[in-house]
Amino acid sequence: MAALMEGRNIIVTGVANERSIAWGVVKSLHRAGAGLIFTYRKQRSYERLTQLLDKHGIQPLYCASCDATDDGAIASAMGEIAERIPVVHGFVHSIAYAEKEELQGEYADTSREGFLLAHETSAYSLVAWAKACKPFMTEGGSIVTQSYLGAERVVKNYNVMGVAKASLEASVRYLAEDLGKYRIRVNAISSGPIRTLSAKGGVSGFTDLLGVIERKAPLRRNVDQDEVGDATMFLLSDLARGITGEVLHVDSGYHVLG
Ligand code: 1JT
C-alpha cells in the first residue's frame, strides 16, 4: 500500500525544538512519506531544526526564513518555496505569541499593545498564510492550525491568548467557507496542555493544570506532541477529505466535562 502522505508537499511552521507541537507533526508526516518544507523565524530555531532533521534522517525539500507578522516576509518565503516546489498540498500553522505579563493576573488588565500583538501573531498569521498558500494549492489542500480550550472557556491565566485562539478558531470557519470552493480544507486541533518552550516560559500554574487533566480527564492522562502530530496528519490527509471548518479536540476528552 502506498504511504498515506506520499507525493504530498506540506509546509510546516513553528518548529523551535524537539518539544514543539510542530515537531510531533513533522515526525508523523515524515513517517507517512510527505515532502516537508519548513519556515522558521529565529536563526536559533533554524539551527535546532537542521540538527533535528539531521538526527532523524529527514531531508527537507526547503527551509525558508519567515516572520509571520510581516506580509512581505510571507510573500518572499512563499515565492522561494514556489520556485522549487510548484504544488503545495498542506500547511501546518503552529505559531503563537503573547507577552509573558499578559498570561497572568486579570484579563481585564490586558494592554492594547499586548492584545494586538497576541492577535496579530497568533490569529492573523493564519489568514495571511492561507492567502499566500491558496494560489499554490492547485490540487486541493489542507490547512491545520493549533488551538487550546482557553478559546472556548475561561482558563485561569490564559487570558489574551484565549481571546486570540477564539479569533483563530472563528477564522478556521470563515476560511473553510471561502476556500472550500478551491478544494482547500481548513481545520484546527485543540490539544490539551503540553510542556513546550512556549508553555515553559514561566507560565503560572501550568504544572497544576497538567495535574488536573491527569486526575479528571476521561483518559486520566495528559496528551503529547506525537498524539497531536498523528491527529494533525489525519486532518492533512485524504482520510479527512469530508472534514472542514472543524476544531478537533486531542485532550484526553477533558473538554466534555461540565
Ligand atoms: C503561547 C504560550 C500560546 C503558551 C501557550 C500557548 N498556547 C498554549 N499554551 C500553554 C498554556 C499557557 C497558559 C495556560 C495554559 C496553557 C506562551 C506565550 C506564547 C503563546 O494557562 C492556563 C498560560
158 has catalytic annotation: yes
Atom 16 of ligand 1, nearest CA residue: 193
Contacts of 228 (CB under 8 A, 6+ apart): 21, 24, 25, 146, 189, 191, 194, 250
192-210 pLDDT tens trace: 999 999 887 667 789 999 9
Relative to the CA of 100, which ligand 1 atom is closest?
18
Of residues 67, 102, 120, 113, the one with CA closest to residue 198: 102
Of residues 187, 258, 200, the one with CA closest to residue 228: 187
Annotated catalytic residue within 62, 107, 124, 158: 158
218-227 pLDDT tens trace: 999 999 999 9
pTM: 0.98
Amino acid at 142: S
Annotated catalytic residue within 40, 46, 124, 148: 148
Question: Residue 50: what pLDDT?
Answer: 97
Amino acid at 219: L
Identify the three-state secondary structure at position 164: helix
48-90 pLDDT tens trace: 999 999 999 999 999 999 999 999 999 999 999 999 999 999 9
CA 75-134-132 angle, 5° bins: 15
Cα 148 to ligand 1 centre (Å): 8
β pairing state of 90-93 and 9-12: parallel
Cα 30 to ligand 1 centre (Å): 27
Cα 80 to ligand 1 centre (Å): 31
148 has catalytic annotation: yes
Atom 21 of ligand 1, nearest CA residue: 158
What domains are defined for the chain? Answer: 9-249 (3.40.50.720)
